[in-house]
Structure 1
Amino acid sequence: MQILVIGSGGREHALAWKIAQSPKVSKIWAAPGNAGMSDVAECVQISATDIRLLADFAERKRIDLTVVGPELPLTLGIVDEFERRGLRIFGPRKDAALVEGSKVFAKSFMKKHHIPTGFFQTFDRSEEAKRYIEEIGTPLVVKADGLAAGKGVIVCFELPEALDAVEKIMEERLFGDAGKRIVIEEYLEGEEVSFHALTDGDAVLPLASSQDHKRAFNDDQGPNTGGMGAYSPAPIITESIHQQIMERVMIPAVAGMATEGRAYKGILYAGLMINGNEIKVLEFNARLGDPEAQPLLLRMKSDLIPLLEAVVDGRLRDQTIDWTPDASVCVVMASKGYPGPYDQGATIVGLEDAAAEPNVVIFHAGTSRTNNQVLTGGGRVLGVTGLGRDIQGAIAATYRAVKKVHWEGAHYRTDIGVRALAKVS
């Protein structure tokens, strides 16, 4: 088989790395890819959002299966275009990807289908949003309606902070057109976890549990990011919590999409808040999380390709997934300034030494290659990911490798996995 992986981040590198292990695969292409992906795939300089060019390429190269990594091409309708041309592609269609593309749609969908979530109101005028905030007070959460690379969420504990969030999103357009509408919702106490499942629109097959770290700095301080690290499994997801998530969130969501004529095929990812035995959905995403994909795919023993094909063909009910009992931890190494304006073009040193560490894989995110040197080219640059017999072992393996990688201004958290350690100690 020839496979095309669309995207250029750590998630896409992890997908290409895992797909390369399949005996069914003879060739992998990546569009546009990154410096690390070039080790397992041939990179082609086509943007992940240039849907027509991507479809033309898939036709010309007779690609057997296209795997879409990021959310933006999904919400732009890449699956619809490929299917119109008779091309096989993994991911939800545009009308189903709206569950991530619009937070207003997602919250309304959850309310309609009785999926547990916090109370909310939606606004398309900043004056009305500010009046509502003054009425209900804080704490609360202000979210841009559209896609904002995981950064369109502002948690507000003080009234001036909340009013300022509305101004930044709706008036100053901090997140561009994603902020034309906003959702103001309940601030939920607890621990945030990520729950992923494969679905063919009918059957729902859960992946292993995972938990990420959204904030930029240690102790969950600083602004929200796309994710500064993740681990799997997540001890907070007990058997009873897992069953509750499946019965109250994942299965009703897939069934609800089907009843609305939005058959959902692909990865469905629920961001959840867990407080004791209570679960509530913060958001849905239409693809694998990044960085959660890195520890998940490192732990997956099963061949990924038959699973993806089963989703596309509507026969997921026959599939199972084998996982290593080992734990995995991913630490994101980012550029100075991220998630704000960040430096680019720094030379990365120590990659070979780090990759030589046992049970460690370096997944590239924002990198490029020039004259045999690997340079930084994004906010999140690398996802250093390691396995261990338990969380503590995985943390130790990962940070041994992290400490061998250097570039000017490199930034990473030093506490990834600490919450999991507290649960198992």
Structure 2
Amino acid sequence: MKVLIVGGGGREHALAWKAIQSRHIDELHAAPGNPGIGRFAWCHPDVEATDVAGQVDLARRLGIDLVIVGPEAPLAAGLVDALTAAGIPAFGPTAAAARIEASKAYAKEVMTAAGVPTAAYADFTDYQQALAYIEARPGPVVIKADGLAAGKGVQVCADLDEARAALRAAMVEGAFDQAGSRVVIEEVLEGQEVSVLAFSDGRTVKQMVAAQDHKRAGEGDTGPNTGGMGAYAPVPAYTADMAEAVQRRILEPTIAELARRGTPFVGCLFAGLMLTADGPKVIEFNARFGDPETQAVLPLLENDLLEVIQACLEARLHEVDLRFRPGAAVNVVLASAGYPGKYVKGLPISGLVEADQVGVTVFHAGTAFNEDGQVVTAGGRVLGVMATGPTLRDALAMAYAGVDQIQFEGKTYRRDIGWRAL
């Protein structure tokens, strides 16, 4: 089987790493890919993930048997629709089904119709109306840009001043371009946050092992929100009873509602949950594998990834027994200094070979080759250092031993990944 992975970040590296282990793989490609993926696959850096026509043309020219779409933007742009129309099997939702991530207001509409527990909310396209709404509720609120904002469109506002500033940035100053022309304003949910990734074939939905991301840039969950500074799996706080409740009250009703609307969801449905005193509630849905959660979840998956995906595409996921190995996995993100704000690119990275020798797996998230062929920084999140172990403490010890081997100017990371579980 010839497989093409769309994307070039840490999530796509993890997907490629898992796909290459399949007994069905003959040839693996990635577009655009990255230097890490290029160690065992053909990369096509001239084809961007969001270049729908380019991706379809590449898949056709290479005779690809399966395309796995990593990022949200090409899903929202209709890449799966275009590939399907060209007769090329693709794993990921159609643009219509991907609206569950591409529009937070639409996701709330779906959840309301399905009776899925989530935060109370209101949505607005008029700035003055939104301003009047928050001023009538001066307590903490969450303000979300409706559209895709590269993980940066959500702000938890502690007071009215912060809420006014967030609202103005989104709706007046255009901080998120068109994504912020509509906003969703929510109540603040309290509890532990958990990420549940689930395979879906449009009818059946099956959970993977739960993970916990670390969104804040600083230790102790301080500082600005990021795309994620690390993740671990499984999550002790996510009990078997909770998993059963999430299956029954959240995942199955959502998949059924999307099917009822004529937009069946085939792909990976990501439920970002808050474990509140009243039970699990949905913070948001994503229409694809999470990043950095995938890098901690897929190493624990015992199944052949391509076999699970094939079952999803053939609407027979119900036949699959998802299996996860015992123990724990952790992914520690190494970021550029200044992330999630401005940062410098092109800084040389050393110690990658030494990290391999420690026994960790290093996923490339934001790297490139310079003119001398050296791997350099090329993003805010640069690398993910993943390790597994019989316990979380064992996995963390190995991951941080790997972190110590890798050097680049301004290397930034959190030393407390997994602190809630410990």
Using structure 1 for the length normalisation, give the TM-score. Answer: 0.98
Which residue of structure 2 lines up, in the alignment, with residue 112 of structure 1? 113
| Paired amino acid for 2:121 | F
Q: Structure 2 matches for 1:335-346, cutoff 5 A?
A: 335-346=336-347
- Paired amino acid for 1:40: F
Q: Does 1:233 align with 2:230?
A: no
Provide Cα deviations, 1:268-287, integer angstroms capped at 9, x if missing partner: 01000002451110000000
Q: 2-side partners of 1:272 and 1:107: how far apart?
A: 14
**SS at 1:408's partner residue?**
coil
1:340 deviation in Å? Answer: 1.2
2: distance between equivalents of 1:89 and 1:296?
21
Q: Which residue of 1 aligns with 2:34?
A: 34
Q: After the TM superposition, which residues 141-160 of structure 1 pair with which residues of structure 2 at under 5 Å, given as runs?
A: 141-160=142-161
Aligned: 1:8 with 2:5: no
Match of 1:269 in 2: 270
Q: Cα deviations across residues 249-277 of structure 1 (Å, max 9, x unaligned)? A: 00000001011111110000100000245
Instruction: Report how many aligned residue pairs link the two structures.
Output: 420
Matches of residues 413-424 of structure 1 in structure 2 within 5 Å?
413-421=414-422
Q: Is the 8 A contact 1:205 1:320 kept in 2?
A: no
Which residue of the partner structure matches residue 373 of structure 2? 372
CA distance in structure 2 between the partners assigned to 1:343 and 1:129 by the alignment: 36
Moved over 3 A (4+): none
Aligned to 1:23: 23
How far has the Cα of 1:375 moved from its partner? 0.3
SS in 1 for 2:93: coil
Question: What is the distance in 2 between the residues matched to 1:317 and 1:277?
Answer: 30
Tell me, in whole angstroms, the C-alpha distance in 2 between the residues paired with 1:177 and 1:414: 36
Alignment of 1:95-244 (within 5 A): 95-244=96-245
Matched residue type, 2:334: M
- Residue 363 of structure 2 corresponds to 363
2:408 maps to amino acid: W
Q: Residue 279 of structure 1 aligns to a residue in which SS?
A: strand
> Counterpart of 1:166 in structure 2: which amino acid?
L
Separation of aligned partners in 1, 2:136 and 2:307: 53
> CA offset at residue 39 of structure 1?
0.8
Deviations 1:46-65 (A, max 9, x none): 00000111101111111000
Distance, in Å, in 2 between the alignment partners of 1:313 and 1:11 is 24
AA in 2 matched with 1:248? R
Letter in 1 for 2:195: S
Identity over aligned pairs, percent:
47
| CA distance in 1: counterparts of 2:238 and 2:278, whole angstroms | 10
Which of 296-305 and 68-77 deviates more? Answer: 296-305
| 1:339-370 CA distance string (max 9 Å, x none) | 11111000001111111112x10000100123
SS in 1 for 2:197: strand
1:117 and 1:146 map into 2 onto residues whose CA distance is 18
Gaps of 5+ in 2: none
Give the deviation of 1:25 after TM superposition.
0.5
Q: Secondary structure at the match of 1:96?
A: coil
1:385 aligned to 2:386?
yes
Measured after TM superposition, the shift of residue 322 of structure 1 is 1.9
1:199-348 matches, within 5 Å, as 199-276=200-277, 278-348=279-349
Measured on the aligned residues, the alpha-carbon RMSD in Å equals 0.9
Amino acid of the residue matched to residue 300 of structure 1?
L
- The CA distance in 1 between the partners of 2:180 and 2:195, in whole Å, is 24
Q: Report the CA distance between 1:301 and its aligned residue.
A: 1.7
Q: Which moved more, 1:347-356 or 1:90-99?
A: 347-356
Residues in 2 aligned to 1:176 and 1:236: alpha-carbon distance in whole angstroms: 37
Structure 1 residue 100, shift from structure 2 partner: 0.1
The CA distance in 2 between the partners of 1:293 and 1:147, in whole Å, is 20
Structure 1 counterpart of 2:237, which letter? I
Q: Secondary structure at the match of 1:418?
A: coil
Letter in 2 for 1:364: H
Distance in 1 between the 2:378 and 2:392 partners? Answer: 30
Please give the alpha-carbon distance, in whole angstroms, between the structure 2 residues aligned to 1:171 and 1:338: 25
> Normalising by structure 2, what TM-score?
0.98
Give unmatched runs, 5+ long, in structure 1.
none
Report the AA paired with residue 14 of structure 1: A
Specify the alignment match of 1:397 in structure 2.
398
Code of the residue aligned with 2:202 in structure 1: it is: G
Q: Deviation of residue 299 (structure 1)?
A: 1.2
For 2:101 and 2:340, the matched residues in 1 are separated by 21
CA shift for structure 1 position 330? 0.5
CA–CA distance in 1 between the matches of 2:117 and 2:377? 41
**What amino acid sits opposite 1:270 in the alignment?**
A
Amino acid at match of 1:19: A
Local SS of the residue matching 2:84: helix
Distance 1:126 1:292 in 2: 35
Post-superposition offset of 1:175: 1.5
Q: Distance in 2 between matches of 1:146 and 1:40?
A: 35
- Alignment-mate amino acid for residue 41 of structure 1: A
In structure 1, the residue corresponding to 2:302 is in which secondary structure? coil
Contact 1:241 1:277 in 2 (8 A): no
The amino acid that maps onto 1:28 is L
SS in 1 for 2:358: coil
